Amino acid sequence: MVNFLKATKIDKTTEADILAAAKKVFIARGMYGARMQDIADEAGINKALLHYYFKNKEQLFEQIFMDAAAQLFPRINMIFTSDNSLFEKIESFCEEYITVVQENPYLPLFVLNEMNRDPVYFIKKLWQKHSGPDPRKFLEQIEAEVKKGNIRHVSPLHLLMNLLSMTIFPFMARPMFQQFVGLDEMQFRMAMEQRKKEIPAFIINAMKR
Partner DNA sequence: GTCTATAATTTGATAGAC
Partner DNA sequence: GTCTATCAAATTATAGAC
Binding region for its own copies (CB under 8 A) = 29-33, 106, 109, 112-113, 115-117, 119, 122-123, 127, 132-133, 135, 152, 154-155, 157-158, 160-162, 164-166, 168-170, 172-177, 179-181, 191, 194-195, 198-199, 202-203, 205-208
Per CB under 7 A, 37 contacts DNA: yes
Q: How far apart are CA 126 and CA 69, in angstroms?
A: 8
Binding mask 58-87 for DNA (x = CB under 7 A): x-----------------------------
Q: What angle do CA 76, 197, 79 make, to 5 degrees?
A: 20
Beta carbon nearer to its own copies, 31 or 78: 31
State in angstroms the smallest separation of the CB of 88 from DNA: 46
Q: How far apart are CA 155 and CA 178, in angstroms?
A: 32
Which amino acid does the sequence have at 83?
Answer: D
Contacts of 131 (CB under 8 A, 6+ apart): none
Which amino acid does the sequence have at 124?
Answer: K
Per CB under 7 A, 1 contacts DNA: no
**Contact with DNA (CB under 7 A): which of 51, 75, 125, 189?**
51
Tally Cβ neighbours within 10 Å of residue 151: 19
